[in-house]
Chains A and B, each alone.
Chain A
Amino acid sequence: MNINKPNLSRRDFFKAGSIIVGGITVATALTPFDGLLFATEPPKGKGKWYGIGIDINKCIGCGNCAKACKLENNVPKDPFYFRSWVEQYTIKNDGSVLVESPNGGIDGFKQSVPDEEIFKSFFVPKMCNHCAKSPCVQVCPVGATFETPEGIVLVDENYCIGCRYCVQACPYGCRFINPEKGTAEKCTLCIHRLDKGMQPACFEMCPTEARIFGDLNDPGSKINYFLKNHTCMVIKPNLNTGSKLFYNALSPEVR
């Protein structure tokens, strides 16, 4: 078999080399690589784009949200499977931080630190942040988790292979593997209730209206009113997850 070896001179080599390198440089300069990965982008125009607001000042830690979530979505009753739960943060006088969440707050909280030692204490209800740049969506190897055009992060139960990658990727600890189905599970923002014009269970059962949700695209919505009138923060803003769960009166100790 004949194989023709090209007889390159040094000049030809440099010529070809400089064309390739120069071409790549010019092409990169013309269309720079857009490094930010969006699972989905907010709809332009009329589409809905859901956001959540939680007022820590109003939360009394009754755990109704956690309880309602478990009942509405058939979440396993064991005390370590939660789609929505409440944590009590206690900052002591010596500066140490104690985080408690007995059964996610469903059975109520008991103050474990005497009043004299407490600098401040507050409840933080937690749930899926429904991030726009969700780390959990980006790592799924089979496309079983995704963000709907309305901005709700969902799991496709029939497609999930239960690899637990998303459970590790979520910086907020909002996912778990359902022990019966073997698939990933998470807050769906009660999309089955939204579809019928109802509020998600945790929002409906909150006795103090500490939880607010609505359409961020609608200037007159409850959530936009909440964001305008409160100084809101997301948890772990440094991770650039595009979180859409906004907390009023969030302390930097909360993680």
Chain B
Amino acid sequence: MPQHIKRLIGAFAVVIILFLVLQSFLRPTSFGKLGHYRADAIQENKMKALHFAGSDKCTKCHEEMKTDKEVGFHAQLQCEACHGPGLKHAMYADKFKDGELPDSLLLHKPGSRKECAVCHQLNAARVKIVFDTINNSMIKQIDPMKHNLVDKRNFAKLVCIECHNPHQP
């Protein structure tokens, strides 16, 4: 074999060995376990913090709401859909007595025209087939700018929950 070929083979061998040594140091251990990615990343994604607790946790303390809501049009609506994520509220609720929960842990009580209109505003796309299988009904729609508007100056004060019970509308 000519000498320049031997040198070339030697050079290649050095580079390849150097690459393999460097790779063994730099490559994360779980890389390639399940595919061309770090298998540990699945676990890292699973470790992220929760924010929503689920209605089962809510009704542990607020039992009366469950029985209230069961028969109403909002039976299929989850508590946190209106009140916001409540895992922190649920976690700390046991440590405080009734009515002692600090303001930062209290959940939002919606009921303004703007908040209810998110679902109930009149919209051509919202005329839908029957989806509420429990009550066999379609969603009620109103124009929040006109609905039951006695006095225009009192618009902001006329909130939906004044007349409607949101848990049993």
Known: A40-B35, A158-B41. A209 touches B125 (CB 8 A): no
Question: Is there contact, CB below 8 Å, between B124 and A71?
Answer: no
Known: A57-B129, A68-B52, A158-B44. A108 touches B117 (CB 8 A): yes
- The answer, among A110, A191, A205, for a CB contact under 8 Å with B46, is A191
Give the number of chain A interface residues (Cβ < 8 Å).
Answer: 58
Q: Is B112 an interface residue (CB 8 A)?
A: no
Least distance between B48 CB and chain A CB atoms (Å):
4
CA distance A196 to B87 in the complex (A): 14
Question: Is there contact, CB below 8 Å, between B48 and A192?
Answer: yes
CA distance A121 to B81 in the complex (A): 25
Closest to B51 in A: A72
Least distance between A53 CB and chain B CB atoms (Å):
14
Question: Is there contact, CB below 8 Å, between A58 and B128?
Answer: yes
Question: Is there contact, CB below 8 Å, between A207 and B78?
Answer: yes
CA distance A123 to B77 in the complex (A): 19
Closest to B42 in A: A148
Question: Is there contact, CB below 8 Å, between B52 and A201?
Answer: yes
Question: Is there contact, CB below 8 Å, between B45 and A146?
Answer: no
Interface size class of B (residues with CB under 8 A): 35 or more
Q: Is A217 an interface residue (CB 8 A)?
A: no
Question: Is there contact, CB below 8 Å, between B125 and A122?
Answer: yes
Q: Is A169 an interface residue (CB 8 A)?
A: no
- The answer, among B4, B122, B131, for a CB contact under 8 Å with A210, is B131
Question: For chain A residues 165-208, which have a beta carbon within 8 Å of chain B?
Answer: 188, 191-193, 195-196, 198, 201, 204-205, 207-208
Q: Is B37 an interface residue (CB 8 A)?
A: yes
Question: Is there contact, CB below 8 Å, between B118 and A209?
Answer: no
Question: Is there contact, CB below 8 Å, between B44 and A205?
Answer: no
Question: Is there contact, CB below 8 Å, between A61 and B126?
Answer: yes
Question: Is there contact, CB below 8 Å, between B84 and A71?
Answer: yes
Question: Is there contact, CB below 8 Å, between A146 and B46?
Answer: no
1/0 per residue, CB under 8 A from A, across B22-65: the answer is 00000010010011111001101111111110100000000000
Known: A1-B2, A111-B122. A58 touches B131 (CB 8 A): yes
Interface residues of B (CB under 8 A from A): 2-4, 28, 31, 34-38, 41-42, 44-52, 54, 74, 76-78, 80-81, 84-85, 117-119, 121-126, 128-129, 131-132, 139
| 10 cross-chain CB contacts under 8 A | A1-B2, A58-B129, A88-B123, A107-B118, A109-B125, A122-B125, A144-B37, A145-B37, A192-B46, A192-B50
